[in-house]
Chains A and B, each alone.
Chain A
Amino acid sequence: MNTTLLAFFIVAFISLVAAWRVITDPSILHAGLWMGLSFVGVAGIFLLLEAEFLAGVQVLVYVGAITTIILFGIMLSDVGEVRVGPEPPGWVQAGAAWHRGLRHAFPLLVAAGFAGTMLGLYTQSGWGQLRERPLELAGLSVGGIGRELFSTFALPFEIASLVLLAALLGAIVLAMREEER
């Protein structure tokens, strides 16, 4: 096993565990922090793929902006602990424990099932068998990404700015305090 593969497994394991904790952690703030860790892990995977620019943007946007906003939102709202599913009946202690176990295991099972299926699919069919020509991977450098964004992908790039405008506008309108006019 070479070092890159080892690093990949470590990083992937961290982000998977973190993602699992996002849904199972009863404290919503902890869930937000786990999410940040998961994002960092994804940035690490980008780094391993030698997509430094994407890794940087991933951290900047997902940790710097999204995690922060979510933590901020949690602190400004009055939510301490979230409960997943109905309360277990109080008279069965074992039942409660079983319920807790199930609560933690269920997302894991679903995710594992999905991951297993997808892994099976990935290994079953050869990737890119149908490709007419091999992919050009030159575009991963910063300059390459910049050139592509402003030539081939200029139009979707610009429309993405409209998407952001619509999201911003919608968020402001929905979050705005209603003043009695």
Chain B
Amino acid sequence: MATSLLPLLPQLLLVLFALAVLLYDLGNEDRPGLGSLAMLGPLAALLGLGIVAGHPGEYWGRMLKVDSFSLFFQLLTYAGTFLVILLSRDYVERQPIHRGEFYTLILLAGVGMSVMASSAELLMIYVGLELMSLSSYALVGMIKRQDQSIEAALKYYLMGAVTSAILLFGISLLFGITGTTYLPDIASALALTKDIQGNLLLIAAVVFVLAGFGFKVSLVPLHMWTPDVYQGAPTPITAFLAVGSKAAAFAGFIRLLATGLPAAVSLWQPLLALVAVVTMTYGNMTALAQTNMKRMMGYSSIAQAGYILTGLVVFTPDSLAATLYYLLAYLFMNIGVFACLIWVANQQESEEIAAFRGLGQRAPFYAVSLAIFFLSLVGIPPTGGFMGKFYLFFAAVQSHYVWLAVVMVINSVISLAYYYGVVRQMWLEPCLPAAPGAAAGGTSRWSMPAARASTSTPPAAASSTPEKAQSWPEPTKPASLALGVAVVISLLLVLLLGLYPQPFFEWVGKAALLG
């Protein structure tokens, strides 16, 4: 059964739900339950994944690979997609976003990510990357009334198009050198050669391919898009880029380096070590100066990419397992942060760090959760982030990368500063008097332009859209259930990963063998 549809089941289900959402949204009227339908997609895919897990192997002419590595990243993708849709449910009600297309594109991007994760064929990885990227470009620009969103989409698109051309060029060079795009074949072809260091063509190919993936995970020379895009994009999409896009790109990255280019390790290891150090230092240093929460998370995400990259640099089974573990924890802590951010933004109509003032009094649950997610991002017990970082640290020290481990620790200390800045706002600053947006009537960027034009009129009167205006910024609206659920799920998993890591260790240990 080389061309059986069964191993494709999770992806097929996701596509099916994407199309179902698209068709259900046909027409002008608001469809009830659209978000729930979209949420069923990744859930169904998770179920399908359970079935597929029993059928490891290679299918479709070696294009599709089902192994513990691909299962791990598919799980990550589907969980991420599910949580992002959960975050979006509240968000799309308050923003002028076309819901049907929004959900469809999220699901399609999810398909792209899972395709990237479940193949050892460069062609498939590239096609998956393109599916993910094209969907994300559009998703970033979904709030068309905001210049920031459009600007972010344009930047992301232009840079992304160029880097994927570079990636493709690198792949074509690899194909030219080895005559194949199948990673194990590339590895065996490279194993035959003696003079890896002297093969300049191979060096160029490796650099180009690394650049292509480096853009997606925002490594330093290719990080420029990150803060702008993170700030401009709809917040759930920012979360999606931070967790989904990054995890999938790392999946491709790891697969490429570990399966395809292990023979060329002497080429890429020093390069990536340098990049990792620069990336985390730059990300953390720049994050210190930020006043916008999403922008700060953008720089934080650059820094985190640096941490994750150390696992690849060390390049032992242990360090790869640590990378996977960290990515798993990273998914939940980031989703948690963004869920809290969306909640606060809904209340305060602002994404500035100042909007978190007095959150400890207003909403202790969200404040405490956010603090825990921050602890996890810094790497302080008893959180998943700590275990992940510790594991990475441990793997680095074990294979004599002590200096790298030291850089990591120093960086973690730096990062404490800016996370603490937010925590201080939440507890040590006095509570804000009232939500500014409620009185001013949409002076902030959170309102529709119609309302923005006349600052004195409340949005309900200024906007010509009666039914929308009623549900439009209502800062006192009680927290949506969906956001709370997302926070609780993330919180539980972050703590679980921190307190009871053993089964997860075994799992990522098996996945990191790429068998």
Interface residues of A (CB under 8 A from B): 117-118, 120-122, 124-125, 127-135, 151-156, 159-160, 162-163, 165-167, 169-174, 176, 178, 180-181
Q: Are A152 and B124 in contact (CB under 8 A)?
A: no
Are B123 and A132 in contact, CB atoms less than 8 angstroms apart? no
By secondary structure, the A interface counts as helix
A124 touches B201 (CB 8 A): yes
- A169: which of B22, B112, B464 is its contact (CB, 8 Å)? B22
Contacts of A134 in B (CB 8 A): 179
Tell me if B151 counts as interface (CB < 8 A to partner A): no
Distance between B62 CB and nearest chain A CB, rounded to angstroms: 8
- Residues 42-63 (chain B) with a chain A CB within 8 angstroms: 60-61, 63
Contact A125 B201, beta carbon cutoff 8 Å: yes
Shortest Cβ distance from A148 into B: residue? B61
User: Contact between B200 and A174 (Cβ–Cβ < 8 Å)?
Assistant: no
Given A129-B193, A153-B123, decide whether A121 and B200 contact each other with a Cβ distance below 8 A: yes
Contacts of A125 in B (CB 8 A): 177, 199-202
Residues in chain A near residue B61, CB distance under 8 A? 151-155
Asked if B468 is at the interface of the complex by the 8 Å CB criterion, the answer is yes
Report B112-126 CB contacts with A as 1/0, cut-off 8 Å: 100100000101100
A174 touching B201, Cβ below 8 Å: no
Instruction: Knowing that A125-B177, A163-B131, A165-B108 touch, tell me 5 more A-B residue pairs with CB under 8 angstroms.
Output: A121-B200, A128-B176, A132-B188, A135-B179, A155-B8
A135 to B98, CA, bound (A): 48
Which residues from chain B contact A151 at a C-beta distance below 8 Å?
61
Q: Is the CB of B111 within 8 A of A162?
A: yes
Q: Given A159-B115, A162-B111, A165-B108, answer yes or no on A130-B141 (Cβ-Cβ < 8 Å).
A: no
Return the CB mask of B9-29 against A: 1 if under 8 Å, else 0.
000000100000010000010
For residue B262, CB closer than 8 A to chain A, the reply is: no
Q: Is the CB of B108 within 8 A of A162?
A: yes
Interface string of B136-149 (1 = CB under 8 A from A): 01110110110000
Q: With contacts A132-B179, A163-B131 known, is A155 near B64, CB below 8 A?
A: yes
Quick check: A121 and B179 within 8 Å, CB to CB? no
The answer to whether B138 and A169 have CB atoms under 8 Å apart is: yes
- In the complex, the answer to whether A130 meets B178 with C-beta atoms within 8 Å is yes
On whether the beta carbons of B178 and A170 are closer than 8 Å, the reply is no
> How far, in Å, is B323 (CB) from chain A's closest CB?
26
